[in-house]
Amino acid sequence: MMPASPHPMIAMPAALREALADGAPVVALESTIISHGMPYPQNVETALSVEALIRDQGAIPATVAVMGGRPTVGLSSAEIQHLGQKGRGVIKVSRRDLPRCMAGGLDGATTVASTMILAARAGVAVFATGGIGGVHRGAEDSFDVSADLEELGQTNVAVVCAGAKAILDLPKTLEVLETKGVPVLGYQTDELPGFYTRTTGLPVDQRLDSPEAIAAQMRAKWDFGLQGGLLIANPVPQAHAMPADAIDAAIEQALKEMDAQGVGGKLATPFLLARVAELTGGDSLATNIKLVENNARLAAAIAIAYNKSAER
């Protein structure tokens, strides 16, 4: 269940606060994709176009970040521009980084995990992103597992994505999600999407073919008091999917370079995404933008359906 009102420490535009109080459908958006996921100016252009797309679908966008130490749900265009221009100079903020950012009065771009936290505290039930973090390849030695999976296991937000990022160990990521009790729902698909590709050969827990069916599971889960999120896996549109062999070759090359340069921790994903974009001649970035837009459309439809289900 969502809180009756936003947490008092959260900054939020008055119009958004009123919309939430009136039961309007709202979709949360992360900000790490702006600062660390795409180069400038495509990052700002994509963030603003995704917000416009959500409005066109009949929902309200709320981009999330920490601005000057204040957790903020519903960034202004100027704040999005600021994060995009500052890029990796902005702190990448997951759950553990929130206190540091808040106490230090710092700007922070929120990951999937921290966006879920702030969305839940603001009363936003649906969140659209590109891909979630997960179990990194070689995690049996490095123990590198994203906090996104932990958050999905405990925070009541439905996350719409194109699967886990393709640079990860996808079978192990699904195993952890199962352990955490997170339903992995395929939207009009029986397989987990591969982020840049539509299929991986890995089965989802259940295929659902409408936003209303997804909203019904959200309400059933939370009304019964089962804590934690739901993962809605939404394949990239066929017209924008990449050939599996091309993206796999680029990922393998990027992983080798990452290991050779000793890149790890929270720097690993931005490094790999940027290098894969270079190795594919920008094709992966173009696909990334299209899948984020596709996820935003679905998230808006789910938010609308979820709010309507409360009226019955």
Residue in 79, 92, 165, 293 annotated catalytic: 165
Amino acid residing at 283: D
Is the peptide bond prior to 41 cis by the omega test (within 30 degrees of 0)?
A: yes
**Mind spelling out the 3-state secondary structure of the chain?**
CCCCCCCCCCECCHHHHHHHHCCCCEEEECCHHHHHHCCCCHHHHHHHHHHHHHHHCCCEEEEEEEECCEEEECCCHHHHHHHHHHHHHCEEECHHHHHHHHHHCCCEEECHHHHHHHHHHHCCCEEECCCECCEECCHHHHCCECHHHHHHCCCCCEEEECCECCCECHHHHHHHHHHCCCCEEEECCCECCCCCCCCCCCECCEEECCHHHHHHHHHHHHHCCCCCCEEEECCCCHHHCCCHHHHHHHHHHHHHHHHHHCCCHHHHHHHHHHHHHHHCCCHHHHHHHHHHHHHHHHHHHHHHHHHHHCCC
Measure the CA angle with vertex 69, ends 63 and 74; round to 5°: 20
| Rg of the chain taking only CA atoms, in angstroms | 18
Amino acid residing at 187: Y
Would you call 311 a catalytic residue per the annotation? no
Would you call 178 a catalytic residue per the annotation? no
The whole-angstrom separation of Cα 300 and Cα 312 is 19
Residue in 30, 51, 79, 151 annotated catalytic: 30
Question: β-strand 158-161 against 126-128: which pairing, if any?
Answer: parallel
Supply the residues annotated as catalytic: 30, 165
